Amino acid sequence: MEPPIGIERRRPASFAGLALDRVRIMGVVNVTPDSFSDGGETLGADVAIARGLALAASGADVIDVGGESTRPGASPVPVDVEIARVVPVVRGLARAGLLVSVDTRRSAVMRVACDEGARIINDVTSLAGDPESLGFAAVSGMSVVLMHMQGEPQTMQERPVYRDVVAEVLAFLAERVLACEAAGVPRTRLAVDPGIGFGKTLAHNLALLRSIDRFTGLGCAVLVGVSRKRFIAELGRGEPPLDRLGGSLAAALAAIDGGCSLVRVHDVAETAQAIAVWSAVREQTG
């Protein structure tokens, strides 16, 4: 019989220098005009830096800076535009002493973000979207979030199909972990993410959220991003993204219950409060 889910036992000791003795919060700063929930809110560098600092003050352990939306239907932006959006924000937040991750699928963006002080690559293509990403991750020493996505953002929600979504996403991430290790990125520098909403129906998202404990078996930290995503409205009453906080918290706690170590969220203060209460009830720190 499987032991009861004990998140302390299943988590690796640390990720990107963060001790995982408690659940860690990745706060989102999108420097984009078109992100699905906060597009345009923090498009200016000063506003984006202020948002990142505020999220850190609210309890975010890492700030994830993105310059390209990967929402369903999104088109890629030119790489120079992505760099121009991301660089001043990464620089400002890293100089303020924050742990910064860069949400990108392009090695050129990873490279400049690293030069500016980012310490984590968050790649929705699991370092497979650009032939130079894997090598750069190895030599840079950065930590990496490997996320599963079926297809491309532009078309991924048209008709996602799996025979067994949990087995297939697990197999994909296991293959990417091995590819990283072979390229020189040790498992201790990796986190895995099932990619909620990335080429997945409601049923697929729920199957993955029910199976987070199986992802902990890959030997890496597990990160989950459910914040404001469409499946919440599908389970609710069709609420727009900014009205999905309740569902976002419920889904994050469900993932944490399954043993995930990091949650990627827009509403940091509310998530920190929810985790504090959940942890106290569970008699676990964090």
Summarize as ranges the residues that interact with ligand HH2 (CB under 6 A): 28, 30, 32, 35-37, 66, 69-71, 103, 122, 124, 145, 147, 193, 195-196, 223, 225, 264
* List of residues 6+ apart from 3 with CB closer than 8 A: 9
- In angstroms, the CA 76 to CA 189 distance is 27
184: left (phi over 0), alpha (psi -120 to 50) or beta: left
Least separation in angstroms between residue 272's CB and ligand HH2 is 18
Would you call 229 a catalytic residue per the annotation?
A: yes
Q: Which is nearer to ligand HH2, 36 or 231 (by Cβ)?
A: 36
Q: Which is nearer to ligand HH2, 156 or 272 (by Cβ)?
A: 156
Least separation in angstroms between residue 226's CB and ligand HH2 is 7
* Residue with smallest beta-carbon separation from ligand HH2: 225
- In angstroms, the CA 12 to CA 118 distance is 22
Containing 277, the helix (H) or strand (E) segment is helix 268-282
Least separation in angstroms between residue 227's CB and ligand HH2 is 7
Catalytic residue among 119, 200, 229, 244: 229
Q: Are 198 and 227 in contact (CB under 8 A)?
A: no
Least separation in angstroms between residue 191's CB and ligand HH2 is 8
- In angstroms, the CA 188 to CA 221 distance is 8
As given in the structure block, the two tokens for residue 222 are 């597990």
* List of residues 6+ apart from 126 with CB closer than 8 A: 146, 147, 148, 149, 172, 173, 176
Q: Which is nearer to ligand HH2, 69 or 140 (by Cβ)?
A: 69
* Amino acid symbol at 72: P
As given in the structure block, the two tokens for residue 27 are 């706060």
Least separation in angstroms between residue 121's CB and ligand HH2 is 10
Q: Which is nearer to ligand HH2, 32 or 107 (by Cβ)?
A: 32
Q: Which is nearer to ligand HH2, 41 or 284 (by Cβ)?
A: 41
Would you call 264 a catalytic residue per the annotation?
A: yes
Q: Are 62 and 20 in contact (CB under 8 A)?
A: no
Just list the catalytic residues: 229, 264
